[in-house]
Amino acid sequence: MKTYGFFLLWVLLCLTSFAQEDSTFIHKLPSVSLSMKRNVHDITYQNVDYSTEGGMSQNITVAYRWLSLSYGMQVAGKDAKGNSIKTAGTNLNLSLFPKKFGVDITYQSLKGFSIITDSLTYVKLGEKSFRPDLRSQNIFGQFFYIFNHKKFTYAAGYQQTKRQAKSAGSAILGVTAAYYSVNADSLVVPWLFREKKPENKLMQSASFLNYGLTFGYLHNFVFGKTKKWFFNFGLQSGLCAMTGEVNRTSSDKLAKYSGQSFFASSRIAFGYTGDVWFGNVVGILSRNYYGFDGETMNNNFGYIAINFGRRLSEPVWLNRIFDKIGKKIPLLD
């Protein structure tokens, strides 16, 4: 009943969006920003929990009009003997955010996870056990339509290349596709845990491709005398079809499966969008569930980031390029 109630509320928000008037103040604000992120990425398989280990990652973002590019990295930490003791990672993001729709494409690669617990059904570990051989990859893409694009601008609460004069929100509906893989030099679930529960199935690597619909709601609250402060929140979920391949051991052939996957994500942000300087503090949490062959795997990630940046002068040559693209593809302007 709760699921149907949430869906009904979302439909009503979509319908009311069409009746609202255009009162969004849009100001093009080219920018370069730097950020510090504390990433957390958890993998749960057969009641064994893995988590990233380490500190902050460094990121740089360049944004102009409806385009944003971001690159970030986290350097692996080593002990005195040269052994890896912290997670290493790389992430790339491409975002398009015209008036009526949004596009997000993200790539993330991580290497090195700690076993944080083997659940209450087993024995809780006294110390974390770091596995530098465990690796994961995420490739995520989505395209969504913004119903209330006359009052709500996606870029105001996310890339901060636009500013919204009044508080407003919008329901969104779109399509999503994602690829996720996890692999290790040895078994994902160590023999230590199989001795306690020998019916656990072996796994050395797995990959999943899911695709389906996504829907949600985004909102920007604008406040302050100058209307340059904002609070943003977003809720999103999706139900997807899934295909997967699992390699039980290095000598076995890949076993192919089909099933379902589900994801839900939330986002909150508080920030300032000025004419010269801007910044925000943002937190994101995403939960992903995969079901296959009577088994489940959870892939959860999130981060807390501090972003700050400065506006750039608008280069004439860059304006001309974006103007030409806008004329050929009106939806992007």
Tell me the C-alpha distance between 277 and 311, whole Å: 6
Tell me the C-alpha distance between 95 and 81, whole Å: 41
For 89, the domain range is 2-332
What's 118's domain CATH number?
Answer: 2.40.128
Which tokens hold the place of 211?
């695709």
Check residue 216 and give its pLDDT: 94
Query: How many distinct structural domains can be found in the chain?
Result: 1
Q: What is the DSSP letter of 84?
A: B
Tell me the C-alpha distance between 122 and 125, whole Å: 9
Phi-psi region of 46 (alpha: psi -120 to 50; beta: other; left: phi over 0): left
Check residue 25 and give its pLDDT: 42
Digit-by-digit pLDDT tens for the chain (333 residues) are 444 444 444 444 444 444 343 444 444 555 666 777 777 778 877 667 788 887 678 888 888 888 888 898 888 777 666 677 788 889 999 998 888 899 999 999 999 888 765 444 444 544 557 888 889 999 999 999 999 988 898 888 887 888 888 899 999 999 999 999 988 887 777 666 655 555 556 677 888 898 999 999 999 999 888 889 999 999 998 888 888 888 776 556 667 777 778 888 999 999 998 888 888 899 888 888 887 767 778 888 888 888 888 877 777 888 888 888 888 887 776
Tell me the C-alpha distance between 57 and 131, whole Å: 20
